[in-house]
């Protein structure tokens, strides 16, 4: 097992390198980069834009009215953004910084990318973890109940309900919830902006907990409903497959109760495909920020940060968040493989690899 883990860790290096290299190469051909955007702002805004950029690190007075920008001034702008170096050197510098988790400085915010991620992360954690836990807490018992009652009216009705929920996109459901319960046209039961109220600091402990939970009801519901179908049907099918196996018939022939058969024999084997995805899903919950959900409910999380970075051509934020997300995803896949061994000791990756 130690050798397998070591091999997987080594494979992460070329995977990370390949993803970053491809993304970096694509960025070089995307029009409207930060240099072009600044030049356009200076030409359209004149002295006002130049003065604004002076506060961001450029010397004031770059734009000279009808004279435009000369070569020296354009070189100064490129130097400010680091584009005075060849692409291969910039890519090498970026990789060297990423080894120490120095993700660079945002072009737009003029702040460390790491600080921006840590600032936006609590919003995505709040939405992601609640979505993760509620999905598992509801879907697994529901899937077991559907497997035990396979073909019954309960199974048919619940399948219809969760499949209808799965067919509705999360952002559409979010809009419907706003119209119904957010004061859109009917009832104003839930707040629509942020995770807390403006007077959050003045509330009691109980009041803060209630205020926070009240704010996340609609966005978590919008993100969670679509996940129910996949997890519930996976649980049901996994239990049905185990229930129909020979060892269950043997246990019944020995006179064991259905409850003992289900939770003493079937439960452990049926949960293998579900539990093995638990580590990756748990880590992914920290970065589950949904762009559309965060936009609809005015939540300033990682999803909105990444989207704005792409629109603004804020390349340090784009590549920095991509690096972090990819690294977390690779670690999650490794933990999922290790979970197979923890759930089912019969699995031996060393034997498979040999």
Q: Tell me: the pLDDT tens digits for 76-95? A: 777 777 777 788 888 888 88
Give the ranges where the chain is alpha helix by DSSP (H).
Answer: 2-28, 34-45, 47-55, 71-81, 87-99, 113-148, 153-167, 170-181, 205-243, 246-253, 258-261, 267-270, 272-275, 278-285, 291-296, 302-311, 315-343, 349-353
**What integer best gives the mean pLDDT of the chain?**
78
Q: Tell me: the pLDDT tens digits for 277-287? A: 776 677 666 66
Q: Tell me: the pLDDT tens digits for 133-157? A: 888 888 888 988 898 888 889 989 9
Q: What is the pLDDT of residue 343?
A: 66
Domains of the chain, earliest start first? 31-100 (no CATH), 114-353 (1.10.3720.10)
pLDDT band at 272 (very low <50, low <70, confident <90, very high): confident
Quote the percentage of the chain above a pLDDT of 90: 2
- Rounded to two decimals, the pTM is 0.73
Q: Tell me: the pLDDT tens digits for 163-192? A: 888 888 877 888 888 888 876 667 778 877
Q: What is the pLDDT of residue 212?
A: 85
pLDDT band at 351 (very low <50, low <70, confident <90, very high): low
Q: What is the pLDDT of residue 327?
A: 86
Q: What is the pLDDT of residue 157?
A: 92
Q: What is the pLDDT of residue 42?
A: 66
In angstroms, rounded to a whole number, what is the distance separating the alpha carbons of residues 223 and 140? 18
């Amino acid at each position: 097992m130690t050798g397998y883990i070591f091999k997987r860790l080594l494979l992460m290096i070329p995977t990370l390198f390949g993803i970053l290299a491809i993304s970096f190469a694509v960025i070089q051909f995307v029009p409207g980069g930060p240099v072009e955007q600044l030049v356009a702002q200076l030409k359209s805004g004149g002295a006002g834009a130049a003065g604004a950029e002076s506060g961001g690190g450029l010397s004031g007075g770059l734009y000279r009215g009808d004279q435009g920008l000369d070569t020296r001034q354009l070189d100064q702008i490129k130097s400010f953004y680091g584009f005075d170096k060849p692409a291969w050197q910039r890519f090498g510098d970026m990789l060297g910084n990423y080894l120490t988790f120095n993700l660079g400085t945002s072009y737009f915010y003029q702040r460390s990318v790491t600080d921006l991620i840590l600032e936006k992360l609590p919003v995505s954690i709040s939405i992601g973890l609640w979505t993760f836990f509620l999905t598992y807490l509801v879907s697994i018992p529901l899937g077991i109940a559907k497997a035990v009652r396979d073909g019954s009216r309960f199974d048919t009705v619940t399948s219809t309900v969760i499949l209808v929920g799965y067919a509705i996109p999360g952002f559409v459901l979010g809009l419907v919830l706003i119209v119904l319960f957010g004061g859109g046209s009917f009832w104003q039961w839930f707040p629509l902006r942020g995770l807390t109220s403006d007077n959050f600091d003045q509330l009691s402990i109980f009041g803060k907990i209630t205020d926070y939970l009240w704010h996340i009801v609609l966005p978590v519901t919008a993100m969670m409903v679509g996940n129910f179908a996949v997890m519930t049907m996976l649980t049901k099918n996994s239990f049905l497959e185990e229930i129909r196996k020979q060892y269950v018939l043997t246990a019944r022939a020995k006179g064991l109760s259905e409850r003992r058969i289900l939770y003493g024999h079937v439960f452990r084997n049926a949960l293998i495909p579900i539990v093995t995805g638990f580590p990756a899903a748990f880590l992914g919950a920290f970065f589950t920020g949904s762009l559309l959900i965060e936009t609809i409910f005015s939540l300033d999380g990682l999803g909105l940060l990444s989207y704005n970075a792409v629109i603004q051509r804020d390349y340090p934020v784009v590549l920095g968040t991509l690096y972090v997300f990819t690294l977390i995803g690779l670690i999650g896949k490794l933990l999922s493989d290790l979970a197979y061994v923890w759930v089912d000791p019969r699995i031996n990756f060393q034997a498979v690899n040999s």
